[in-house]
């Protein structure tokens, strides 16, 4: 066996980051997400396809709350190379029920763009919302960034944007080195320099609070990534919390955002209300 990363060979490393294969009913879960999302997108107040840039996927779907208030900006996952904001509209329900506005951000996928380019697009979407969220009732001075999987990485990369008061990072990737060495990199094309400059674990940390959540039934590498990111921030004395949710995997954890009294929906409300955890 040729050791590639943390005692793993190529097959072990690839399996260690293959969330869809690890969750046997992942296809059924994502189909359920799509069906629920279609229902949310039919809400009369929903603003679908707000354009923040010229590229095909540079669009935002906005779901307003019943009254003016804070805005949760959600960034979808898919290892920066698959899925779309439309697959995750369902997460807005729990947040809207908590009185929060929700904006789901789209971005160009690899290999059509580099990861640095994706970060730039997400930053542009946040800036656009800073200029326009008030038109829909959202408070551009109280934006909470949230994201799942690759989206959580993008949250960590964009915490310094104007108007952002905190982050809710779910099941994220914060060290890109194992990604560079795995099958995920076939489309990403990450280099050693990319790992150095685009891994949140290698960068200066935002002083804004970040809640880092993961499911205790997730792959060990995904759990380790969240724990390492939290440990780095804690060592720097920065505000935040590590939330390990029992019995949840990489997909079912999203129910805690979509359900009215879901742990993550309630946490998002608390973050927006106090700007602290």
Domain ranges of the chain: 23-274
Distance from C-alpha of 182 to C-alpha of 14, rounded to nearest angstrom: 5
- pTM given for the model: 0.97
pLDDT at res. 276: 45
Query: Where does the pLDDT of residue 30 fall: very low under 50, low under 70, confident under 90, or very high at 90 and above?
Result: very high
Locate the DSSP E strands across the chain. Answer: 47-51, 59-63, 69-75, 101-105, 138-148, 164-170, 210-215, 240-245
pLDDT at res. 277: 40
The encoded tokens of residue 61 equal 């779907």
Q: Give 35-86 pLDDT, tens digit per residue.
A: 999 999 999 999 999 999 999 999 999 999 999 999 999 999 999 999 999 9
For the chain, what is the mean pLDDT? 97
pLDDT greater than 80 at residue 131: yes
Per the listing, tokens 């951000």 go with 105
Query: Where does the pLDDT of residue 269 fall: very low under 50, low under 70, confident under 90, or very high at 90 and above?
Result: very high
The domain made up of 23-274 is a member of CATH 3.40.50.720: no
pLDDT greater than 60 at residue 252: yes
Query: Where does the pLDDT of residue 225 fall: very low under 50, low under 70, confident under 90, or very high at 90 and above?
Result: very high
pLDDT at res. 2: 84
When pLDDT is averaged across residues 203-212 and rounded to a whole number, the result is 97
Distance from C-alpha of 86 to C-alpha of 105, rounded to nearest angstrom: 9
pLDDT at res. 64: 98
pLDDT at res. 274: 72
Distance from C-alpha of 4 to C-alpha of 182, rounded to nearest angstrom: 9
Query: Where does the pLDDT of residue 1 fall: very low under 50, low under 70, confident under 90, or very high at 90 and above?
Result: low
Q: Give 152-170 pLDDT, tens digit per residue.
A: 999 999 999 999 999 999 9
Other C-beta atoms closer than 10 Å to the C-beta of 171 total 29
Distance from C-alpha of 71 to C-alpha of 60, rounded to nearest angstrom: 13
When pLDDT is averaged across residues 90-101 and rounded to a whole number, the result is 98
Distance from C-alpha of 92 to C-alpha of 125, rounded to nearest angstrom: 18
């Amino acid at each position: 066996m040729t050791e590639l990363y943390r005692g793993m060979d190529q097959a072990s490393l690839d399996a260690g980051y293959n969330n869809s294969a690890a969750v046997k009913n992942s296809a059924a879960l994502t189909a359920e997400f799509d069906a629920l999302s279609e229902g949310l997108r039919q809400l009369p107040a929903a603003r679908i396809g707000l354009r923040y840039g010229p590229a095909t996927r540079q669009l935002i779907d906005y779901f307003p709350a019943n009254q003016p208030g804070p805005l949760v900006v959600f960034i979808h996952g898919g290892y920066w190379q698959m899925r779309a904001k439309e697959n995750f509209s369902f997460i807005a329900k729990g947040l809207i029920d908590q009185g929060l506005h929700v904006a789901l951000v789209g971005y160009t996928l690899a290999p059509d763009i580099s990861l640095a380019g994706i970060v730039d697009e997400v930053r542009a979407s946040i800036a656009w919302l800073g200029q326009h969220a008030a038109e829909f009732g959202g408070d551009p001075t109280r934006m909470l960034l949230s994201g799942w999987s690759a989206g959580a990485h993008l949250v960590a990369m964009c915490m310094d944007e104007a108007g952002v008061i905190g982050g809710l990072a779910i099941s994220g990737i914060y060290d890109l080195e194992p990604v560079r060495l795995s099958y995920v990199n076939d489309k990403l094309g990450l280099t050693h320099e990319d790992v150095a400059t685009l891994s949140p674990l290698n960068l200066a940390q935002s002083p804004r609070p970040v809640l880092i959540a993961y499911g205790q039934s997730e792959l060990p590498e995904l759990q380790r990534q969240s724990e390492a990111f939290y440990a780095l921030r804690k060592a720097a004395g920065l505000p935040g919390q590590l939330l390990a949710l029992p019995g949840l995997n990489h997909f079912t954890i999203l129910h805690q955002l979509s359900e009215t009294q879901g742990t993550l929906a309630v946490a998002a409300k608390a973050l927006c209300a106090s700007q602290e955890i």
